[in-house]
Amino acid sequence: MRKIVHRHLGKVVAGAAIAVAGTAVMVGITLPGTAGADDSGGTKGGTGTSQQAGQQGQAAAQPGVVEQAPAEGQKGKGRDPLTDDEMKRVEQIARNQQSFSASENVEGKRGPQRVSLNLAEPDTNELDDPNAPRRADVSFYDYKNDTLVTKTVNLDTGKVEQTGTQRDVQPPISRDEMTEAAKLLIADPLGAGLKADFKDATGKELTSPDQLMLNSMVYRATSGAQPAVLDACGKHRCVRLFPKVKNGPWIDSRDLVIDLSARKVGKLG
């Protein structure tokens, strides 16, 4: 009986082994085919994906086209910044008035010194009007009598709608005024330190404002804080310069003040 059981058990084990071997053979036969199909499909899919990614990469790598800015028209719209043509027209309209015939600019020549030109704010009743007229506020400094004159010009009608005159008012220094202040400082004995510092930095002589980059601020006199030559600053147009050597260092000239109205230089401290 034990032999029969062992014999049957041996057959079962042998049968199981054959079944496992058969399964392994099937797996061995089936998997490569399936793997080949998957590899083939994967390769095609991978190639397609790679080609697509390459095409996308090439598309992304194409250089961008820089479009030229549209040409500036003679007249802006709405709240657009003033165009060059508009600024020239505003200044011409404002200067044509006889009230400026005897004025002087920063160089002492005939005509006022323009210090600012900006788009004017619309009137209250025009805030929601898309067709409201464009206006500009242009300010001039008259060095003959130290007066700030501001005119509002209607660009639609070409007329001055409003004129305001102020004294003892000093707006920021314009570029032309900074240049003239530097000329006066370079020519004055008090400018010797500026010229010496410039030569130390560059090895060259300082002879023109064109050799400098300039920043500035308005100077106003305070009681006892400056020499008598600068006591009128505030009523006069006075400036402190902050010069910089082009492609070089700043030069400290904070203790020097140029009175553009009197065309004199004073030293603080």
The pair phi, psi for residue 20, each rounded to 5°, is: -65, -45
Q: Per residue in 16-50, pLDDT tens?
A: 333 333 433 333 333 333 343 444 344 444 444 44
The structural domain count of the chain equals: 2
Q: What is the mean pLDDT of the chain?
A: 79
Mean pLDDT of the 2-6 span: 38
Residue 119 and residue 152 in one domain: yes
- How would residue 5 be classed by pLDDT, with cut points 50, 70 and 90? very low
Please give the backbone phi and psi of residue 169, each rounded to the nearest 5 degrees, phi first: -115, 125
Query: Does 30 reside within a domain?
Result: no
% of the chain surpassing 90 pLDDT: 57
Q: State whether 155 and 184 are in the same domain.
A: no
- Domain with residue 252: its CATH number is 3.10.450
Kindly give, in sequence order, each residue whose CB lies less than 8 Å from that of residue 156, ignoring residues fewer than 6 positions away. 133, 134
Instruction: Identify whether 12 is part of a domain.
Output: no
Q: Is 241 inside a domain boundary?
A: yes
- The residue behind tokens 């206006």 is 135
Last residue of a domain, one of 167, 193, 209: 167
Count of CB atoms situated within 10 Å of the CB of 87: 17
Q: Which long-range contacts (CB under 8 A, 24 or more apart) does 228-233 make?
A: 229/259, 229/262, 229/264, 229/266, 230/257, 230/259, 230/266, 230/268, 232/259, 232/261, 232/262, 233/257, 233/259
User: How far is 111 from 141, CA to CA, in rounded Å?
Assistant: 10
> Which residues touch 205 (CB under 8 Å, ≥6 apart)?
195, 198, 199
The last residue of a domain, from among 132, 147, 167: 167
Query: pLDDT per residue over 215-249, tens digit each?
Result: 999 999 999 899 999 999 999 999 999 999 999 99
Residues 186 and 207 sit within 8 Å (Cβ to Cβ): yes
Query: Cα angle vertex 212, ends 211, 213, to 5°?
Result: 140
